Structure 1
């Protein structure tokens, strides 16, 4: 199988799973093992193509992001989330990611840590489903600054591949009193600056071994991820109204068991 075909497959997996609480990075690491798509360049590829999925959010929510650019006292006093909510939610993740970036890439980008993350993240989701707080933020625009910061703290769990950013933040939001749908939409919004920053930082850290020959591979993955994510976001928002978070946790448990058998037995 050519590297370009692998890039398309990986991009499709990324686009399909980025906004589902099942861990896109975890899926790509496991798929990379099956496809023999591993190594330093592949690890950077798995980070960078997440930008393709995030660009889909930017397209679908462009009006909301334009509104964030209006940073005026009047705009910040209006009901609804604003740029301050996003910054507050980003800070814990940014600090954590920059602090242990090297450890993550060197020690956690492998199947075993991913399987642990899938199970641990699934347990968190089951607990959030069972012990969710009293809902006081039915829509994304009802989310308070305190809830935004709390969601940001839960997002730090996602530095462990397999845990899932959306799984962590949606679980955190539900435990803090947001509806499942509100937490999911807020996760989409926060993911845009987070992934732009993560992509830029990872490319910078990988500058010594990436070459111009890698550009087509990365572009193919980005396009595939963007295309599939456009469909996946809309589908997930519909699913999240109907499916309890636990159902996604059960899928994670099944996936972890299946890959444990495939890889280690």
Structure 2
């Protein structure tokens, strides 16, 4: 497979899976094993192309961000609560992620961990959908502080590849009493600082390898990010519609089936 085709394929995988509760990192790790390419060489690429998917959220929700920005300027309480909730929920992942960075990296090459996490996460989604309390919290600014702190710590579960950052935050929000659409949108917004931080860390850590051409080049990263941006634009709107009408059960079933199939394939090799 040519490098350009691999770049496009991984960009599509990232754009589809970044905001679904199915683990984009897990799918990229499994793609590594399936396609047989050098995981170390593509490590920075897999992280940084997430910026394309993040940009899709900025574009799709630009009115929300504009309103919050204007509200901050006018000192409107709702806008400050919106910002507070994002900052507070981001802090646990930033602190724990930096502290455990080496241990997290060690897991990123383990496809078997991904498959198990996919299956366990699928059953977790089914359990939360069945037992989560009903809620009328229908706005990011309306989420109570203690709930935001809980969501922030639950997001840290996604440091295990295959758990899914969006899945951990959405399910955490649901379990703590946030309604579906707000839980999904809070996960989208929280992805912005989280993924920006992860991408900046990877670029800084691997700047010498990128400059020397030891990894995937900046041109390939740019193409992958562009592909993930376009695909994520389409997927996010579809995802919100599915969640609003049918909940998260379809994604739970996908996780169980895909994770089980991948594990069987890995064990048979």
TM > 0.5: yes
**Which residue number corresponds to residue 254 of structure 2?**
251
**Which residue number corresponds to residue 222 of structure 1?**
225
The 5 A counterparts of 1:10-25 are 10-25=10-25
User: Secondary structure at 2:208's aligned position in 1?
Assistant: coil
The 5 A counterparts of 1:54-133 are 54-69=54-69, 71=72, 74-75=75-76, 77-78=77-78, 81-133=81-133
Contact 1:80 1:142 in 2 (8 A): no
Contact 1:136 1:142 in 2 (8 A): no
Deviations 1:125-184 (A, max 9, x none): 122112102313134443222222221111111111110011111111111111111100
Structure 1 residues 247 and 80: alpha-carbon distance in aligned structure 2, compared to 1, 3 A threshold: farther
Root mean square deviation of aligned Cα:
1.8
- TM-score between the two structures when normalised by the length of structure 1: 0.93
Higher mean alpha-carbon deviation, 131-140 vs 174-183, is at 131-140
Contact 2:154 2:172 in 1 (8 A): yes
The 5 A counterparts of 1:17-36 are 17-36=17-36
Q: Partners in 2 of 1:63 and 1:81 — Cα distance?
A: 17
Contact 1:15 1:232 in 2 (8 A): yes
- TM-score between the two structures when normalised by the length of structure 2: 0.92
The gaps in structure 1 that reach 5 residues or longer are none
Contact 2:107 2:161 in 1 (8 A): no
Question: Do structure 1's residue 41 and structure 2's residue 41 form an aligned pair?
Answer: yes
Q: 1:93 deviation in Å?
A: 1.0
Contact 1:47 1:199 in 2 (8 A): yes
**Which residue number corresponds to residue 263 of structure 1?**
266
Contact 2:119 2:260 in 1 (8 A): no
Q: 1:35 deviation in Å?
A: 1.4
Contact 1:10 1:28 in 2 (8 A): yes
**Which residue number corresponds to residue 166 of structure 1?**
166
Contact 2:45 2:221 in 1 (8 A): yes
Q: 1:194 deviation in Å?
A: 1.0
User: Secondary structure at 2:192's aligned position in 1?
Assistant: helix
Q: Give the ranges of 4+ consecutive aligned residues of structure 1 lying more than 6 Å apart after TM superposition.
A: none
Q: Partners in 2 of 1:14 and 1:23 — Cα distance?
A: 9
Aligned residues: 264
Structure 1 residues 223 and 166: alpha-carbon distance in aligned structure 2, compared to 1, 3 A threshold: same
Q: Partners in 1 of 2:264 and 2:32 — Cα distance?
A: 17
Q: Partners in 1 of 2:178 and 2:32 — Cα distance?
A: 35
Q: Partners in 1 of 2:121 and 2:80 — Cα distance?
A: 29
